[in-house]
C-alpha cells in the first residue's frame, strides 16, 4: 500500500513538472506579448494626441479596434485637464492657473456619440491621459488562480499621458 501512494504522488509530481508548469510559462509569455502590444498602441495614440492637440473620431475607433486585436476586452478611460486662468483672490492683479477635468463622457460624447463626427480639441499646456485595463481574465490569470488559489486580476493596466505640446489642427 505504501508503494501505491508513492507511485500516485510521483505521477502527480511528474504531471505537474511536464505539463502544467510549461503551460503556465506559455500563458505568461502570451500575456507579456499582449501587454507589449497594448503598450505600443496606447503610446502611439497618446503621443499622437499630445503632438496634434486633437482627437478625431476615426483615430479613436482605430485605436480601440487595435486594442481588441489581441483578443481581450479593455476599458479605455480618457482624461483631459484643461488649463484655465482665474483671478487670484489674494492678489488683485494676478491670476492662478487651475485645471478643469473632462473625462470619457465629455470627450466621447463630443466626438463619437453625437454623430457629428467632429474632432475634440485640446490646447497647448493641457494635460491628457489614457488609462487602459483589461476587463476579462487572461489564460495566465486563470491558471494562477487555479494553481495558487488566487492571483491578481486585471494584470494588463496602463496609464500614459502628458502635456499637450502642439496645436496642429
Q: pLDDT tens for residues 36-55?
A: 999 999 999 999 999 999 99
Higher-pLDDT residue of 149 and 27 is 27
Spell out the alpha helix ranges (H) of 16-127. 21-52, 57-67, 104-108
Which secondary-structure segment (H or E) carries 80? strand 74-87
Count of structural domains within the chain: 1
Is 84 part of a structural domain of the chain?
yes
Domain that holds residue 121: 2-163
Which secondary-structure segment (H or E) carries 79? strand 74-87
| Residue 73, φ and ψ in degrees, nearest 5 | -95, 140
For the chain, what is the mean pLDDT? 86
Three cell numbers at 162? 502628458
Is 169 part of a structural domain of the chain?
no
Q: Is 71 exposed, middle or buried (0-12, 13-18, 19+ CB in 10 A)?
A: exposed
Is 127 part of a structural domain of the chain?
yes
Higher-pLDDT residue of 152 and 140 is 140
pLDDT band at 110 (very low <50, low <70, confident <90, very high): low
Amino acid at each position: 500500500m505504501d508503494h501505491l501512494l508513492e507511485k500516485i504522488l510521483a505521477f502527480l509530481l511528474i504531471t505537474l513538472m511536464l505539463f502544467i508548469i510549461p503551460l503556465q510559462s506559455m500563458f505568461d509569455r502570451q500575456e507579456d506579448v499582449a501587454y507589449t502590444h497594448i503598450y505600443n498602441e496606447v503610446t502611439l495614440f497618446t503621443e499622437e494626441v499630445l503632438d496634434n492637440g486633437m482627437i478625431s473620431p476615426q483615430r479613436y475607433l482605430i485605436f480601440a479596434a487595435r486594442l481588441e486585436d489581441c483578443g481581450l476586452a479593455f476599458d479605455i478611460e480618457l482624461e483631459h485637464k484643461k488649463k484655465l486662468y482665474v483671478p487670484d483672490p489674494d492678489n488683485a492683479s494676478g491670476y492662478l492657473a487651475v485645471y478643469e477635468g473632462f473625462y470619457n463622457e465629455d470627450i466621447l460624447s463630443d466626438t463619437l456619440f453625437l454623430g457629428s463626427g467632429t474632432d475634440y480639441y485640446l490646447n497647448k499646456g493641457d494635460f491628457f491621459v489614457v488609462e487602459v485595463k483589461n476587463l476579462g481574465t487572461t489564460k495566465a490569470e486563470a491558471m494562477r488562480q487555479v494553481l495558487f488559489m488566487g492571483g491578481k486580476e486585471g494584470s494588463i493596466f496602463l496609464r500614459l499621458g502628458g502635456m499637450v505640446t502642439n496645436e496642429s489642427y
